[in-house]
């Protein structure tokens, strides 16, 4: 049945009206894509939310489409997005994975933006890491230093003081590792390390001991320096801790942190992200913080912000505006308060954070100690091969423990394999 | 106006065209999501490429990825691990699957509940199954160590995921638990299609239970067994999530199968060309294995 003429006319008119009124609205509603693994993180996620809110308030008609991707699937997702020609406008990456993206020319050089915005990055923690092929391709969002959290009650029960060096730490860890209920299964551990999962995290755990022994994976020129007496000592310490099961075995980082927060582990070296986990744990009232008993502490760059090189010029400009807000002194100050982490900006006002977070000064001290010692989890000269290198280090260390190999032999093997990786 | 003759699908000589037309959307979709990526993958395997871009010109043709692959101990180790896993998991899946199918095929009180319990692991998502087993076999707080210690079988805890042999065994157990219900369901369907008259005739002839199993049940199940075997083997061959979540391929590559290796090379080390070569070889092996088994299937009917 045909529609009457007046109805058809009205319908056409309505469609035309809708189309013409919708056009300006469409033009105004610009969407910037921002993918992050920190969306639901307590503190840091709230801070990102505040940056987005500020950006949208100062850029009417522009919305940030904020998508969460789990950390475990993040590299895969970002690789797929870039390879498929659909990168996010605002690029958030871990500081050990951006190099591959930069090497492919997928990250916009930020020097012109930094220059025109007069953004002062002098003294910005970890910013040196963001250089690639003599250009700045990102801005560092977090540089951290490890502190030590300890269960005061468990230490007191054993009549132990907070350890101040490796020997004391080892003695305390041995005394605190015990079978409490006598069922033949150890249910309280001296310390806690991830010994299952990714190579990067495994390496960070090992570095507590290798750094204190004076060992480094590479020197400042990127030359591999593993086959040294210091590294042998570091590997020996790691082997002792794991082989004697002073740490629960085969657990992922999150599980170890939870066990510590619940009072099953006495001493734990970790970064600022441990604090919110402690707050939700059963043993939160028994846990105190101090500097790590090692020198220097593990530390390093964590995550970076950049711009995808292939988005439109307009989107690049908007993405930079977003970065400018995130790196402003005002938001760097709130980063300290909300994220309970030392911001990379040396000009940030952290007095509020010191009031809100009792251990904030300790975090700053730990971060400074790591930064002064130029500690980073990503060895210089092995940035592009970091994942392979980390996996190799993990496997050779596991082999050392499983097959009870001499750390001297293991250090020599690692040296050879790392050099081969560098030549690839 | 009369329709053009070539569009007249009502004509007997054109009738099959309708079938093709109806199939076309599905064929196009399969071509888009399976065949095209396959071609891309094969193409990438002949290029020296890290992270590829489909909109950029292809790199020069090279066989370097395959040369590296066939001279790599890691690849042969992954192949051996995959083969071991396929044989062990398939064998035990069949043993358990056939056993449970024969069990729940009998009439007894609680038969429905038993069938439900047999099929339950199949309904559990793989990742959930992995989490359950990871905690059962946890080195420090796991149920398995506790049970073994209580039974006096061990006097110190086993680090299940720190020992290559133990980690491999745990992966096998998890995969068997997850995979046997599928065999069981398929076998049950096969068992219920065997006419009761066969068994009655065999009983009249004086055949005992074992003879009925070997002379009636198993031969009748052969067609189903063949197809199920192919499906289970292919599942084990390409399964990724169980191993990746449980062990990540470790320790010391003891559980690194070809699919784990492919993923690691592609998304861990960003060597997409090399990863594609591993993927292509895996595909070829899967196709050959399937063809061999399919080729045998009709003979067994």
Query: How confident is the model over A57-93, as pLDDT tens digits?
Result: 999 999 999 999 988 889 889 988 998 889 999 999 9
The answer, for B13 touching chain A at a CB cutoff of 8 Å, is: no
Q: Do A83 and B51 touch (CB under 8 A)?
A: yes
Q: What's the mean pLDDT in A349-372? A: 87
Average pLDDT over residues A198-219: 94
Contact A33, A78 (CB under 8 A): no
Residue A238 CA to residue A232 CA, distance in Å, equals 10
Describe chain A by its helix, strand, coil percentages, rounded to 5.
Answer: 50, 15, 35
Q: Would you place residue A17 in the very low, low, confident or very high pLDDT band (cuts 50, 70, 90)?
A: very low
| Mean pLDDT to the nearest integer, B160-177 | 94
Compute the nearest-CA separation of A59 from chain B (Å). Answer: 33
Question: Does pLDDT of B299 surpass 60?
Answer: no
A317: its two tokens: 């400009």
Q: What is the pLDDT of residue A8?
A: 52
Determine the residue among B131, B170, B269 to mutate to test chain A binding: the one whose Cβ has the most chain A Cβ atoms within 10 Å: B269
* pLDDT at residue number B72: 93
Q: Which candidate from B150, B161, B267 shows the least CB-CB separation from A250? A: B161
pLDDT at A22 over 70: no
| B160 contact A CB<8A | yes
Average the pLDDT over A280-290 and give the result. Answer: 93
Q: Which of A85, A189, A398 sits opposite B53 (nearest CB)?
A: A85
Chain B residue numbers with beta carbons less than 8 Å from the beta carbon of A196 are 161, 247-248, 250
By C-alpha distance, which of A193, A149, A142, A155 is closest to A359?
Answer: A149
pLDDT at A296 over 50: yes
**pLDDT above 90: percentage of residues in chain B:** 50
State the smallest CA–CA distance between residue B248 and chain A in angstroms: 7
How does the average pLDDT of chain B come out, rounded?
Answer: 88
- Supply the pLDDT for residue A12: 45
Chain A CB contacts of B157 below 8 Å: 185-186
A84 touches chain B (CB under 8 A): yes
Chain A residues within 8 A of B146 when measuring between CB atoms: 183, 185
B248 touching A, CB under 8 A?
A: yes
The average pLDDT across A191-204 equals: 90
Q: Which run of H or E residues covers position B211? A: helix B209-212
**Rounded to an integer, what is the distance from CA A324 to the centroid of its chain?**
21
Mean pLDDT of A114-136: 90
Which one of A184, A239, A244 would you mutate to disrupt binding with B, by most B Cβ within 10 Å of its Cβ? A184
Give B1-46 pLDDT, tens digit per residue.
555 666 677 777 777 788 888 899 999 998 899 888 899 999 999 9
Do B51 and A79 count as a contact with CB atoms less than 8 A apart?
yes
Sheet holding A287-291, edge to edge: A189-191, A265-270, A147-151, A287-291
Confidence of residue A135 (pLDDT cuts 50, 70, 90): very high
The pLDDT assigned to A158 comes to 94
When CB atoms are compared, the residue of B54, B145, B267 closest to A185 is B145
* A405 in B contact zone (CB under 8 Å): no
Whole-number pLDDT of residue A20: 42
Shortest CA distance to B46 belongs to which of B78, B76, B68, B30? B68
Average pLDDT, chain A: 89
HSE-CB of A76 using CA atoms within 13 angstroms: 12
Contact B138 A183 (CB under 8 A): no
Rounded to two decimals, the pTM is 0.85
Question: A356-360, A387-391, B281-285 — which is least confidently predicted?
Answer: A356-360
Q: Is A85 on the interface with B (CB under 8 A)?
A: yes
Measured between alpha carbons, how far is A163 from A161 in angstroms, rounded to an integer? 6
Residues A249, B54: C-beta atoms closer than 8 Å: no
Residue A333: enclosing H or E segment and its boundaries? helix A329-339
DSSP A162-200: PP-SHHHHHHHHHHH-B-SSSSSS--BEEE----SS-HH
Give contacts of A 95-124 with B, CB under 8 A.
100, 103-104
State mean pLDDT over B69-84: 94
Q: Is the pLDDT of residue A373 over 70?
A: yes
Whether residue A85 and residue B161 make contact (CB cut-off 8 A), yes or no, is: no
pLDDT of residue A28: 57
Name which of A53-67, A218-232, B230-244 the model is least confident about: B230-244
pLDDT for the residue numbered B2: 59
Q: In the prediction, which pLDDT does B295 show? A: 64
Give residue A147's Cα distance to chain centre. 15
Q: Do A398 and B140 touch (CB under 8 A)?
A: no
Alpha helix ranges (H) inside B57-72:
64-70
- Residue A224 CB contacts under 8 Å (≥ 6 apart), including other chains: A217, A218, A381, A382, A415, A418, A419, A422
**pLDDT band, very low/low/confident/very high, at A16 (cuts 50, 70, 90):** very low
Q: Which of B159, B262, B263, B275 to mutate to test the interface with A (most CBs of A within 10 A)?
A: B159
Q: What percent of chain B has pLDDT over 70?
A: 95
| The dihedral sign for the CA sequence B124, B125, B127, B128 | negative
- Looking at the partner chain, which of A82, A83, A402 has a beta carbon nearest the beta carbon of B251? A402
DSSP B3: P
Residues 52-71 of B with CB under 8 A from A: 52-55
Q: Is the dihedral of CA B152, B154, B155, B160 positive or negative?
A: negative
Residue B7: the pLDDT is 66
Contacts A105 to B, Cβ<8 Å: none
Average pLDDT over residues A18-39: 68
pLDDT at A176: 96
Model confidence at A300, pLDDT cuts 50, 70, 90, reads confident
Subunit contact B54:A85, Cβ cutoff 8 A: yes
- Please tell me if residue A86 touches chain B, with a CB cutoff of 8 Å: no
- Between residues A406 and A275, the one the model is more confident about: A406
Q: Which two tokens stand for residue B225?
A: 């067994």
Residue B248 has pLDDT above 80, yes or no: yes
Strand, coil or helix: what is B248?
coil
- Cβ contact, residue pair B50, A100, below 8 Å: yes
Question: Which tens digits make up the pLDDT trace of A245-259?
Answer: 999 998 888 899 999
Mean pLDDT of B143-172: 91
A32 pLDDT tier (thresholds 50, 70, 90): very high
B268: nearest CA in chain A? A387
- Give pLDDT, residue B105: 87
Binning pLDDT at 50, 70 and 90, where does residue A40 land? confident
Beta bridge partners of A178: A188
Q: How far apart are CA A110 and CA A18, in angstroms?
A: 41
Q: For residue B300, what pLDDT is reported?
A: 44
Terminal CA-CA length for chain A: 73
Q: Is the pLDDT of residue A14 over 80?
A: no
Per-residue confidence (pLDDT) for residue B3, from 0 to 100: 57
Over 50: is that where the pLDDT of B162 sits? yes
């Amino acid at each position: 049945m045909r529609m009457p003429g007046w109805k058809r006319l009205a319908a056409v008119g309505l469609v035309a009206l809708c189309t013409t009124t919708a056009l300006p609205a469409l033009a105004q509603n610009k969407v910037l894509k921002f993918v992050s693994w920190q969306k639901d993180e307590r503190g840091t996620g709230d801070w990102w939310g505040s940056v987005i809110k500020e950006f949208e308030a100062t850029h009417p008609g522009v919305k940030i489409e904020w998508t969460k991707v789990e950390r475990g699937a993040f590299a895969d997702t970002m690789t797929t997005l870039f390879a498929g020609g659909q990168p996010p406008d605002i690029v958030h990456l871990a500081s050990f994975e951006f190099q591959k993206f930069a090497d492919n020319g997928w990250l916009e050089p930020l020097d012109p933006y930094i220059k025109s915005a007069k953004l002062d990055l002098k003294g910005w923690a970890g910013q040196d890491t963001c250089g690639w092929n003599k250009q700045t391709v990102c801005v560092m969002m977090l540089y951290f230093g490890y502190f030590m959290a300890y269960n005061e009650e468990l230490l007191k029960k054993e009549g132990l003081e907070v350890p101040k060096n490796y020997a004391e730490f080892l003695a305390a860890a041995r005394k605190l590792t015990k079978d409490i209920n006598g069922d033949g299964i150890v249910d309280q551990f001296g310390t806690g390390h991830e010994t299952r999962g990714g190579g990067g995290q495994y390496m960070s755990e090992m570095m507590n001991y290798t750094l204190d022994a004076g060992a480094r994976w590479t020197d400042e020129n990127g030359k591999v320096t593993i086959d040294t007496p210091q590294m042998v000592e570091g590997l020996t310490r790691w082997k002792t801790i794991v082989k004697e099961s002073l740490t629960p075995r085969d657990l992922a980082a999150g599980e170890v942190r939870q066990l510590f927060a619940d009072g099953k582990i006495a001493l734990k070296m970790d970064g600022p992200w441990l604090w919110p986990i402690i707050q939700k744990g059963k043993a939160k009232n028994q846990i105190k913080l101090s500097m790590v008993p090692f020198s220097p502490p593990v530390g390093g760059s964590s995550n970076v912000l950049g711009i995808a090189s292939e988005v439109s010029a307009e989107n690049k400009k908007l993405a930079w505006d977003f970065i400018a807000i995130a790196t402003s002194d005002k938001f760097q100050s709130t980063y300290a308060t909300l994220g309970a982490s030392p911001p990379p900006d040396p000009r940030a006002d952290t007095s509020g954070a010191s009031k809100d977070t009792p251990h904030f000064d300790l975090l700053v001290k730990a971060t400074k100690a790591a930064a002064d010692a130029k500690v980073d989890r990503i060895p210089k000269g092995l940035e592009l091969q970091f994942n392979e290198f980390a996996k190799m280090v993990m496997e050779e260390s596991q082999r050392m423990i499983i097959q009870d190999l001499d750390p001297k032999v293991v250090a020599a093997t690692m040296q050879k394999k790392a050099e081969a990786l560098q030549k690839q | 106006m009369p329709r053009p003759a070539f569009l007249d699908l009502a004509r007997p000589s054109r009738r099959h065209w309708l079938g093709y037309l109806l199939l076309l959307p599905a064929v196009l979709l399969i071509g888009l999501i399976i065949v095209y990526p396959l071609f891309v993958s094969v193409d990438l395997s002949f290029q020296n490429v890290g992270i590829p871009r489909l909109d950029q010109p292809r790199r020069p043709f090279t066989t370097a990825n395959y040369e590296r692959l066939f001279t790599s101990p890691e690849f042969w180790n992954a192949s051996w691990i995959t083969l071991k896993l396929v044989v062990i998991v398939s064998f035990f899946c069949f043993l358990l699957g056939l056993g449970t199918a024969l069990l729940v095929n009998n009439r007894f009180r609680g038969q429905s509940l038993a069938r439900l319990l047999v099929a339950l692991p199949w309904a559990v998502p793989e990742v959930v199954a992995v989490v359950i087993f990871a905690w059962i076999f946890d080195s420090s707080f796991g149920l398995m160590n506790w049970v073994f210690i209580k039974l006096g079988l061990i006097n110190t805890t086993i680090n299940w995921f720190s020992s290559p042999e133990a980690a491999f065994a745990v992966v096998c157990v998890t995969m068997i638990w997850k995979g046997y219900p599928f065999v069981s369901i398929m076998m049950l369907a096969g068992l219920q299609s065997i006419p009761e008259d066969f068994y009655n005739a065999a009983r009249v002839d004086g055949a005992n239970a074992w003879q009925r199993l070997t002379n009636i049940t198993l031969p009748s199940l052969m067609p189903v067994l063949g197809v199920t075997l192919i499906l289970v083997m292919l599942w084990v061959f390409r399964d990724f999530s169980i191993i990746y979540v449980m062990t990540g391929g470790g320790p010391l590559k003891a559980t690194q199968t070809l699919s784990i290796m492919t993923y690691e090379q592609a998304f861990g080390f960003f060597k997409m060309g090399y990863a594609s070569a591993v993927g292509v070889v895996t595909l070829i092996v899967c196709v050959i294995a399937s063809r061999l088994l399919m080729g045998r299937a009709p003979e067994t009917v």
